[in-house]
């Protein structure tokens, strides 16, 4: 078979993976889902023809999204994951013995069902009794749950279609309002080379809401440009987590050196965020 999956983004950039076989493909009321078995990257989830994760390199995304805020918070007990239907972020959260409940607010039940079937490398975290899956819109759920969560992780697709709302000022306000005092959030926050204006706007919003917002990033080769960023949102500095031991289980990406270095920004991008600071 000489089948290739090609993702085209920004109108000028594309990524192609050679596909061994299509494991699942369907159109739901919300999106097109495909799970592919590929050369080198292993099993890959795509939503609306955009790569969400691969078996080979998902650890860069899931470990960095999860552990940076989880370590910054003292003994996190209640965690909310917005999106995250593939189970990768959930797997990482459940490593913390202090966690009593994890709520996953996912819009599309089929993402959960298909991922549970085809991604055994996540170890079926859905069977953990601490997990509560809610199939609904995250906006309404956040409005109904102010001050309830020690950590919130926004594990979202790119800001296209319905997911565009998850990059809005309103979403960030609702998210911060749903944190407990001393809580922290982290969001998928796009790519520093391709999305400077979007990240500047989100950083500006975050600065109005919390004392210690910060942008950081991870290397994920299957994503556009090989890099993905996150926004840390909290009144607690991210450096609070630097000297803490990692939770039980194995990290495949994060270590103390990577943890600190993830916040060291290239000069062009550091200046871009400095412009936001000077303007506010």
- Catalytic residue set: 155
d(CA 263, CA 109): 34
Q: Is 158 helix (H, G, I), strand (E, B) or coil?
A: coil
Q: Which residues contact 200 (CB under 8 A, 6 or more apart)?
A: 272, 273, 275, 276
Q: Side-chain half-sphere of 236: how many Cα atoms within 13 Å?
A: 22
The answer to whether the beta carbons of residues 246 and 254 sit under 8 Å apart is: yes
What whole-number distance in Å separates Cα of residue 149 and Cα of residue 234?
12
Closest CA to 195 of 231, 152, 236: 231
The token pair at 186 is: 């982290």
Polymer length in residues for the chain: 280
């Amino acid at each position: 078979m000489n089948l290739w999956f090609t993702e085209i983004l920004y109108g000028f950039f594309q990524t192609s993976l050679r596909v061994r076989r299509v494991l699942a493909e369907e159109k739901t009321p919300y999106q097109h889902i495909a799970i592919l078995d590929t050369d080198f990257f292993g099993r890959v989830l795509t939503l609306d023809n955009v790569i969400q994760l691969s078996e080979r390199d998902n650890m860069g995304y899931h470990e960095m999204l999860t552990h940076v805020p989880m370590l910054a918070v003292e003994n996190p007990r209640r965690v909310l994951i917005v999106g995250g239907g593939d189970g990768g972020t959930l797997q990482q959260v459940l490593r913390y013995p202090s966690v009593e409940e994890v709520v996953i607010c996912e819009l599309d039940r089929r993402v959960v069902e298909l991922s549970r079937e085809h991604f055994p490398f996540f170890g079926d975290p859905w069977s953990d009794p601490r997990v509560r899956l809610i199939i609904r819109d995250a906006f309404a759920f956040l409005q109904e749950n102010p001050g309830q969560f020690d950590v919130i992780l926004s594990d979202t697709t790119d800001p296209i279609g319905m997911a565009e709302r998850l990059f809005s000022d309103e979403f960030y306000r609702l998210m911060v309002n749903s944190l407990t005092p001393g809580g922290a959030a982290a969001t998928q926050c796009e790519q520093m080379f391709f999305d400077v204006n979007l990240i500047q706007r989100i950083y500006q919003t975050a600065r109005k809401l919390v004392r210690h917002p910060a942008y950081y990033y991870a290397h994920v080769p299957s994503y556009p440009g090989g890099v993905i960023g996150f926004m840390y949102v909290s009144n607690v500095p991210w450096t609070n987590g630097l000297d803490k031991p990692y939770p039980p289980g194995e990290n495949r990406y994060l270590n103390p050196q990577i943890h600190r270095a993830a916040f060291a920004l290239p000069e062009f991008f550091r200046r871009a965020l400095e412009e936001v600071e000077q303007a506010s």
